[in-house]
Amino acid sequence: MPPTADSEFMERTIAALLAVCFGWIIGHFTPTIQHFVGLWLRGPKLQCKTIALETTTTQAGILHWYVSVEVSNVKGRIARECRVFLTTIEQLWSNGASKIIFDRTIQCVWEYDTKRDSFDIPFGASPSCNFVLVDNVRQGFVPQFRRSDGEKFETIPYEHLFMCNGTYRFTGVVTADEIKGVAFSAVVDISGIWPPSLRKSSVWTSRAALRGLARNAAPPMIATTHEYRGYVFTIEYQPSDPAYSVDFPDIPTIITSGDNLPEAFANACEALDLHLESLQKLKLPLPEPRHRLVVETA
């Protein structure tokens, strides 16, 4: 049966509608595709390494010895809003045993500007962020934490944890907008002999390496509370895969996890960045943070 005028009109209408829909999809998603292809080809891409630096003598004749993480951007685009967090501090013993003594993820202090919350790192730049201070007078160490208002975090309530000599492993993560975080670890020997020594440092960027870190880490805490960009979230350990699940009480639609604490923290920061960016592009209001991180001092 030859096609009728009505059927030909219907086919043309459907074809025109499909063409319009296809054009709208291409036009709507092309900038996003170009954006992520650009990130893959031109970066940014972060690399980091831990370094030890003995500073000059203070006016009181005290020597300061810092352990820092040097963050480098090795691709063309600027790495935006880079932050460094210390996630766990473990005490190590010569028999191979270890114990987590601190598990509050707190931001560390940038060496060049202690008031800065974050750094935009261009290609080729390598700013440093301090996370441990040791001097030749006191025993133990002083973590270099910063509060959200830019002041240094008061660690006096935790001196019973930090002010004793020994061997410690510090694990942390470097985050930046729109790219995956990089986890790092440093083993520092603070035996009372000056200067202390940075015995071992490692960086993890692949999931396989991070899983290896999870297998070799000290026994995990059941749940930890963290804060990023003003939003509080919890990371809970469970004896299943994935081992660490993330929960944002103010944004329950964010779902992410990790095989260990640093990976789960980095994934949580990345998921929050993407969620807030999507809301801004859609011109929707950002959720109001209703929870606050309170660090116990007793």
| Domain annotation covers residue 20 | no
Give the domain CATH number at 171: 2.60.40.10
| Domain annotation covers residue 114 | yes
139, HSE (Cβ side, Cα atoms, 13 Å) = 10
| Domain annotation covers residue 13 | no
| Domain annotation covers residue 290 | no
Answer yes or no: is pLDDT of 39 > 60: no
State which residues form the domain around 254. Answer: 43-281
Q: What residues have CB less than 8 Å from 251, skipping those under 6 apart?
A: 231, 272, 275, 287
pTM for the whole structure: 0.63
Cα distance between residue 265 and residue 184, in whole Å: 13
Count of structural domains within the chain: 1
Residue-level pLDDT at 211: 47
Residue-level pLDDT at 248: 92
| Domain annotation covers residue 4 | no
| Domain annotation covers residue 141 | yes
Mean pLDDT of the chain: 76
Answer yes or no: is pLDDT of 220 > 60: no
Range scoring the smallest mean pLDDT among 1-15, 129-143, 251-265:
1-15
Mean pLDDT along residues 57-77: 83
3-state secondary structure 10-45: HHHHHHHHHHHHHHHHHHHHHHHHHHHHHHHHHCCC
- pLDDT tens digits, 173-193: 888 877 777 888 889 998 878
- pLDDT tens digits, 116-151: 778 888 888 888 888 888 888 888 888 887 766 666
| Domain annotation covers residue 231 | yes
| Domain annotation covers residue 29 | no
17, HSE (Cβ side, Cα atoms, 13 Å) = 6
Q: Report the b/e string of 157-167 with b at 16+ CB within 10 A.
A: ebeeebeebbb
